[in-house]
Structure 1
């Protein structure tokens, strides 16, 4: 369960009393979470274009397995009031994804690229949303994907023994049972160069970079480093 989420210009965190605190750009109300209670997971939608950096939305999963949403709703990405029996959530660009207790998946928002075409998914336990594609982790350790596949970010059918998934802007990353990592998709900045990683216990994908945490607490990163987002030599260990 994600207790913390970061959008393009806002940050969301679940407080000890299960309320939600949000700070940052509130242009479209994406930080209007003060009234939320009994929250167990949060997700923050991102933005695709640098020209729309204030356009984002925020999701929250309640203890009763219903979902709340606030913020940018141009494509109906906040229309989640009818959802129930949800066990985990994800927020992408202009869309929201929810996994139900029976392993099926619901989605609302932008339909253009097919990233909401999840109605036939089964046995899903986790989801992740990139800009134009959506990943689903099945209970058997396999991965499914829908949406824009321009850079091969949906070429995941051969993946096996997966324990975690992350969707970047145009790349997909997964953590295997043996602690190795695989990635497909846009590799313009080297964000998919993870084949030498080992002993990984957690992964994260930014728009153009990929981060992993090893069992000893060391952080490794590859990809776009124009803002030093991959400069972790002095970061130390975290576990």
Structure 2
């Protein structure tokens, strides 16, 4: 069964999956990354929240269909959108110039740039979740441990000692892990996550380029790291059931289906106020 992901936040755009399987997007459409209007039967969406630089304004978007196939739109310079042949996929993740799919048998399939080793996942087995940063890939295994491959320049792949994890999230140069006890583990530059290790009762985490976001069991949202554009200004949010972190903005899905946002709106990536997603009752 595919993992349902309703929201994704990129560097300059935002993506959401509607209840009927269609996909909507807002923000920059420089390479067609928002050209998802014809997509149907989608159960999950993904895009990369890469670092902010002159050469990273282009992006791609992935959509996982109910039949286990994958759609892609946007920048394809490194072949990151070459996913048409993927089958039996239950989860997707996008990095900078690369894409990763989780198959139903616990193995991974990849496309795009692998220069830094981010695609060296062929030996991994029993993967239950995957997340991509700029140049690294992080996996959660069935036994609750984690693994990472790719650039480790800032220690973002140092997750081998993690155990009893329930999810992982990869950012630009840092990685978050959520334990089964609702605590957060982190590696990478402290300026992107300092304070998150004090969070409790967390049920989901998201890693932006320079900030970290947590969703609590109460439906509150907490955020730490850089907030130059107000991307961490989520303290008043409530009744939230899902979060997504982009480069400089944050999204939250409320239980009534409304989408909240904070942070940069330079490219219209926060023009989500009219979005109405499926109303859900449980996280």
1:230 corresponds to which residue?
A: 232
Specify the alignment match of 1:174 in structure 2.
177
1:67-116 CA-partner distances (Å, limit 9, x unpaired): 11111001000001111000000011100000001000011111111111
Give the equivalent residue in structure 2 for 1:118. 121
1:188-233 alpha-carbon deviations (Å, 9 max, x no partner): x251432221111111111111111222223222111222222334
Q: What's the secondary structure of 2:223's corresponding residue?
A: strand
Q: Aligned partners of 2:226, 2:148: CA distance in 1, in Å?
A: 24
CA shift for structure 1 position 13: 1.4
Q: TM-score, normalised by structure 1?
A: 0.94
Question: Post-superposition shift, 1:237?
Answer: 5.2
User: 2:93 pairs with 76, 85, 90, which one?
Assistant: 90
Match in the other structure for 1:44:
47
Moved more, 214-223 or 199-208: 214-223
Equivalence for 1:24: 27
Structure 1 segment 87-236 matched on structure 2, within 5 A: 87-187=90-190, 189-236=191-238
In the alignment, the residues of structure 1 paired with residue 189 and residue 5 of structure 2 have an alpha-carbon distance, to the nearest angstrom, of: 26
Q: 1:20 to 1:153 in 2, by over 3 A?
A: same
Aligned to 1:64: 67
* Paired residues, number: 238
Find the aligned partners of 2:168 and 2:121 in 1 and give their Cα distance.
16
Unaligned ranges ≥5, structure 2: 242-283
Q: Secondary structure at the match of 2:54?
A: helix
Question: Separation in 2 of the partners of 1:234 and 1:82?
Answer: 43
Query: Is the partner of 1:195 in helix, strand or coil?
Result: helix
- In structure 2, the residue matched to 1:10 is 13
Higher relative contact order (CA 8 A, sep 6+): 2
Q: Is the CA contact 1:3–1:14 (under 8 Å) kept in the aligned structure 2?
A: yes
Q: Distance in 2 between the 1:123 and 1:93 partners?
A: 25
Structure 1 distance, partners of 2:20, 2:59, is 25
Cα distance in 1 for partners of 2:64, 2:94 equals 12
Q: Deviation of residue 238 (structure 1)?
A: 3.3
Out of 39-48 and 138-147, give the one that drifted further.
39-48
Distance in 2 between residues matched to 1:233 and 1:44, nearest whole Å: 25
Q: Report the TM-score, using the length of structure 2 for normalisation.
A: 0.80
What stretches of structure 1 of length at least 5 have no aligned partner?
A: none
